[in-house]
Structure 1
């Protein structure tokens, strides 16, 4: 995975699909134009890694009767893909053997996002987890994992959290109060985790808010945990990709991109924000949980 290339690839695929369908050309027909397989062309429209040379883009632009503005946009997006930063890509490659294959796409979206909203009903979000909290989760899911491999997983988690030091990145965590009542790794690990949440909530670009059990709206009970990625404009083309919603499952993950689906999650996010405690009251609840219920 080339770090930073996820968004321009998605934008390029979206534009190619729009132009192809406008001209009533099938994917098979488009594949024949650039002398490749339908599967390879399909990957191009899906925003997956494949060749994006100017020769290929111009051939498609000709076949799809793109005007000058549309052609320039396609070429700008292809250039952004090729010039995407590679520094973080080396980080992910170094940890490739401990990253679940399906999680690569999540990492690409997380790197590219300018704003992330995470609604969690049982666990602290990964970007806010302490090393020991995450260690307890890894051992619970993979009790036979070799210790050295566990440490590499934890190293990756810590590297991901460097995003929080970027003032242009905004992270909004909305947590069910239930999260505060699950002991992960024992009282000591859990209380340290909650202290960490309090500290992180003081960072200007990080918000931690709790939806209390007494919330008037039950919307949080009806919605599974999810992460919503929002994106800023791409540097050259200035295109803004629509949000993507990630819903994690025990045996499979969902990435939702259709407007009708994403709009529903945008609406739910707002409703959750409406019933969540303010940040100061959320910190007070975290501190009360540490001091009283964890016996300190």
Structure 2
């Protein structure tokens, strides 16, 4: 029986390969002929249905699709994870530093459900707030590289701000997010005002879990994101949902239905204990004024 986690890696590998083929204007049959495989075999790879993808096929496809060295290395990393029967991933030893697996999932998601106890989520960060955090992670970056990293984070936000079919974002922030200073008082004032403004969008819900609510789950909970990818015309999920969590040493991608269900339950408990959207915006604006004064 295939493992949910390894299936996630295979599915994403297939998506990147399919996108590469389509960007080159190649049909399944044409691309399959070029690697001396059948169209059915290539289609199974693109759908994530091949348990062990051969490295020779990855090499050939990446060469045909003109992937650069980093992109090719990332595809091999996904293939290796797809062959692994572990249901969790720590990509640091397999993926190039500039390849962000989560960003690929995020870009495909139709709904993102997020809990953050410490920091503003990347999709809601201002440039100044993001710049401070990125500088802490990459202190040796030159000005151009630093600007590129900030620009990438800002570009990700178009997923929720674009006019045509933006993704839905549902966020609960613990009050500690509002109180932890990142970038100084002026940056925090602008960041909290931005959160309040973003919460007025029809596709975005921002709620604050106040300190007075204590710990609704009976224990401290780390940050997590539940990514859902929409449904087809029959109401079936296009792709199974995924939970993303991270720690100081790595990232976890959980795809087992029972894990996703437990995180949904946890989020519902946190949201019920949080201030409603209107009260949350009022608190955000109040604390923003405190920072600005």
**TM tier, shorter chain?**
0.5 to 0.7
SS of residue in 1 equivalent to 2:11: coil
Does the CA-based 8 Å contact 2:216-2:269 persist in structure 1?
no
Which 4+ residue blocks in structure 1 deviate beyond 6 angstroms?
A: 42-45, 73-76
Aligned length: 230
SS of residue in 2 equivalent to 1:210: strand
Does the CA-based 8 Å contact 1:174-1:208 persist in structure 2?
yes
The structural deviation recorded for 1:243 is 1.3
Distance 2:46 2:142 in 1: 46
Distance 2:38 2:234 in 1: 19
Q: Does 1:49 align with 2:13?
A: yes
Tell which deviates more after alignment, 46-55 or 278-287: 46-55
- Root-mean-square deviation (CA, aligned residues, Å) is 3.6
The structural deviation recorded for 1:240 is 2.8
Distance 2:286 2:152 in 1: 31
Distance 1:155 1:254 in 2: 25
Distance 1:175 1:273 in 2: 9
Which residue of structure 1 aligns with residue 249 of structure 2? 251
Q: TM-score, normalised by structure 2?
A: 0.68
The structural deviation recorded for 1:194 is 0.6
Tell which deviates more after alignment, 227-236 or 114-123: 227-236
Does the CA-based 8 Å contact 1:228-1:246 persist in structure 2?
yes
CA gap 1:242/1:169 in 2 versus in 1, 3 angstroms? same
Which residue of structure 1 aligns with residue 284 of structure 2? 286
Match of 1:128 among 80, 104, 124: 124
Following superposition of structure 1 onto structure 2, how do residues 140-219 of structure 1 map, counting pairs within 5 Å? 140-166=136-162, 167-215=165-213, 217-219=215-217
Distance 2:140 2:199 in 1: 34
Distance 2:224 2:7 in 1: 26
Distance 1:100 1:227 in 2: 23
SS of residue in 1 equivalent to 2:140: coil
List gaps (5 residues or longer) in structure 1.
1-13, 19-41, 61-72, 79-88
Does the CA-based 8 Å contact 1:115-1:171 persist in structure 2?
yes
Which residue of structure 2 aligns with residue 68 of structure 1? none
Following superposition of structure 1 onto structure 2, how do residues 1-296 of structure 1 map, counting pairs within 5 Å? 17=2, 46-49=10-13, 53=28, 56=38, 58=40, 101=97, 104-166=100-162, 167-215=165-213, 217-219=215-217, 221-234=219-232, 239-292=237-290, 294=291, 296=293
Tell which deviates more after alignment, 204-213 or 99-108: 99-108
Higher CA-based Rg: 1
List gaps (5 residues or longer) in structure 2.
19-27, 30-36, 49-66, 75-94
Q: Deviations over 1:91-142 (max 9, x none)?
A: x98xx9xx96486221111111110011101100000000010011111222
